[in-house]
């Protein structure tokens, strides 16, 4: 399998990209992928998206060490994802207290994916909005510009909160899977020049497999959209895409 990442600042943002993307090993043949989107109306929302990404990276590294010493243990992708979320909530609460962060500094969405390459399976949870594509099928999470944010829940009892989550998907076969922040829906023409090439940005970035042999496939596709189609996203964009190459 090949894993691709893309992170781009949107046309409407000038100083900071408020999205973040992370891919980390969990040990063995299992990885964690995530994309975060900070709320533009929040305070320094680029910070919370990055902080959540860094905390997830730390959790993944800790889990990879544990997996090495407990190689005989097996757990489902959903259990792995749940453990990551529980530790993330705890760590985020500690950071909130240590840094004296206000509620409006904790507003970001999260799409979290755990994939097991050996089992060719995965589990994904969406907190807020965004897009998940699974083997050619799009699953859009649209909360009418009032997305749920991770920071709303760090003070809640985790088990009760987790049981109430509805935006999750079990993936029993991985051919081509993407997780995307909602910037994927905001591509528009960025000038009045004439362009002969036309592409659907969502399909091109999440379904089209041309150039999959290149590690920078998504960056190359973004460049085509920008330079040959005259399109850029108005909002920041974060994508992680996994293609199961059978070659």
pLDDT digits (tens, 9 = 90+) for 180-226: 999 999 999 988 888 889 999 999 999 999 999 999 999 999 999 99
CATH number for position 88: 3.60.40.10
User: What does the pLDDT read at residue 195?
Assistant: 87
Residue in the structure block whose two tokens are 């895409």: 241
Q: For residue 135, name the pLDDT band (cuts at 50, 70, 90).
A: very high
For the chain, give the longest Cα–Cα distance.
60
240 three-class SS: strand
User: What does the pLDDT read at residue 145?
Assistant: 67
| DSSP for 128-151, written as a single string | S-EEEEETTEEEEE--TT----GG
Q: What is the domain count for the chain?
A: 1
**CA 7/CA 20 separation, integer angstroms:** 7
pLDDT digits (tens, 9 = 90+) for 66-108: 877 776 677 899 999 999 999 999 999 999 999 999 989 999 9
State if pTM tops 0.85.
yes
Which candidate, 116, 19, 24, places its Cα nearest to that of 124? 116
186 three-class SS: coil
**Residue-number span of the structural domain to which 65 is assigned:** 2-243
User: What does the pLDDT read at residue 192?
Assistant: 82
Q: List strand residue ranges (DSSP E) for the chain, in order.
A: 2-8, 19-27, 30-38, 108-116, 121-127, 130-134, 137-141, 168-171, 176-180, 187-189, 231-233, 237-243
| Token pair belonging to 89 | 């909530």
- % of the chain surpassing 70 pLDDT: 98
Q: In DSSP terms, which residues pair with 35 in a beta bridge? A: 21, 111
Given the DSSP bridges, would you call strands 237-243 and 30-38 parallel, antiparallel or unpaired?
unpaired
């Amino acid at each position: 399998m090949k894993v691709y990442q893309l992170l781009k600042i949107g046309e409407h943002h000038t100083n900071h990209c408020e999205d973040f993307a992370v891919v980390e090993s969990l040990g063995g043949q299992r990885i964690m992928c995530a994309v975060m989107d900070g709320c533009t109306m929040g305070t320094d929302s680029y910070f919370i998206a990055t902080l959540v990404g860094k905390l997830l990276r730390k959790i993944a590294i800790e889990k990879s060490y544990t997996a090495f010493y407990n190689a005989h243990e097996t757990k489902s992708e959903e259990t792995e994802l749940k453990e990551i979320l529980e530790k993330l909530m705890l760590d985020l609460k500690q950071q909130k207290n240590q840094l004296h962060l206000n509620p409006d500094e904790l507003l970001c969405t999260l799409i979290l994916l755990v994939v097991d390459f050996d089992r060719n399976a995965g589990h994904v949870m969406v907190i807020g909005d965004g897009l998940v594509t699974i083997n050619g099928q799009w699953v859009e999470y649209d909360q009418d510009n009032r997305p749920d944010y991770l920071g709303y829940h760090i003070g809640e009892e985790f088990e009760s909160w987790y049981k109430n989550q509805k935006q999750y998907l079990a993936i029993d076969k991985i051919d081509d899977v993407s997780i995307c922040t909602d910037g994927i829906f905001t591509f528009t023409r960025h000038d009045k020049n004439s362009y002969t090439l036309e592409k659907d940005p969502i399909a091109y970035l999440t379904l089209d497999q041309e150039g999959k042999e290149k590690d920078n496939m998504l960056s190359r596709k973004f460049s085509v959209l920008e330079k040959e189609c005259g399109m850029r996203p108005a909002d920041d964009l974060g994508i992680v895409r996994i293609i199961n190459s059978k070659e």
